[in-house]
């Protein structure tokens, strides 16, 4: 069964929960309402054989309502079918987690939460994954300034001499054998 047939089956099963479908260059996308999203994903996993979630991402349609959109890329293990499922999300809504269907969705959902601020209800461990806890902003939102926002964090980059430069642990890139080339404590004479 091809992804095109899966889209037809999902449209029949989910009814008005399907907002629209798109076929472009052989890729199939199913747009669903947020309340229908988990049911659509569950049907894909359990009935249609999409064993893998390849990617989960989000879009910021700044100025539109709903503002955000989540995008799920699904595939079969034998790579015979690919399906994209999208759902729009407003700023005050939560997306149902897909970790109960694909444990690999865990890190994707955490990254989306961390970078966009989209919350996932039912997620087992929803906390920041890239930014530090307590960081009040979401860097991938379109209203985030390119120069960044002021922070209480100290600058960690240094422009001075590296603390171990010329220190006891050095390598010799041009050495003729492995023993001389490997990092080790050299005695400075």
Tell me which residue of 157, 27, 1 sits closest to 80, measured CA to CA. 1
Predicted local confidence at residue 111, as pLDDT:
97
The residues pairing with 179 across neighbouring beta strands, listed in sequence order, are none
Q: Which of these CATH numbers, 1.10.150.120, 3.30.980.10, 3.30.460.80, 1.10.3720.10, describes 3-145? A: 3.30.460.80
Predicted local confidence at residue 155, as pLDDT:
62
Predicted local confidence at residue 83, as pLDDT:
97
With a cut of 60, say whether residue 170 has pLDDT above it.
no
Phi, psi of 68 (to 5 degrees): -105, 165
Mean pLDDT, rounded, for 37-48? 97
pLDDT tens, position by position, 66-105 = 999 999 999 999 989 999 999 999 999 999 999 999 999 9
With a cut of 60, say whether residue 189 has pLDDT above it.
no
With a cut of 80, say whether residue 43 has pLDDT above it.
yes
Tell me which residue of 74, 91, 92 sits closest to 83, measured CA to CA. 74
Q: Which secondary-structure segment (H or E) carries 53?
A: strand 52-60
Percent of the chain with pLDDT over 70: 79
Read off the pLDDT band of 171 (50, 70, 90): low
pTM: 0.77
Cα separation, 183 vs 60, in Å, equals: 47
């Amino acid at each position: 069964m091809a992804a095109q047939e899966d889209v037809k089956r999902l449209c029949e099963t989910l009814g008005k929960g399907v907002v629209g479908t798109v076929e472009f260059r052989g890729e199939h996308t199913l747009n669903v309402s947020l309340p229908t999203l988990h049911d659509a994903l569950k049907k894909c996993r359990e009935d249609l054989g999409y064993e893998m979630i390849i990617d989960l991402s989000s879009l910021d349609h700044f100025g539109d309502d709903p503002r955000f959109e989540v995008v799920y890329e699904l595939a079969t293990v034998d790579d015979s079918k690919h399906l994209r499922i999208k759902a729009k999300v407003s700023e005050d809504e939560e997306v149902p987690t897909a970790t109960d269907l694909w444990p690999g969705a865990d890190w994707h959902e955490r990254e989306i939460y961390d970078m966009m601020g989209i919350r996932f209800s039912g997620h087992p461990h929803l906390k920041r994954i890239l930014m530090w806890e307590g960081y009040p902003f979401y860097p991938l939102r379109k209203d985030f300034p390119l120069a960044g926002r002021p922070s209480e964090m100290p600058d960690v980059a240094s422009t001075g001499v590296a603390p171990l430069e010329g220190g006891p642990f050095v390598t010799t890139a041009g050495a003729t054998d492995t023993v001389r080339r490997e990092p080790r404590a050299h005695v400075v004479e």
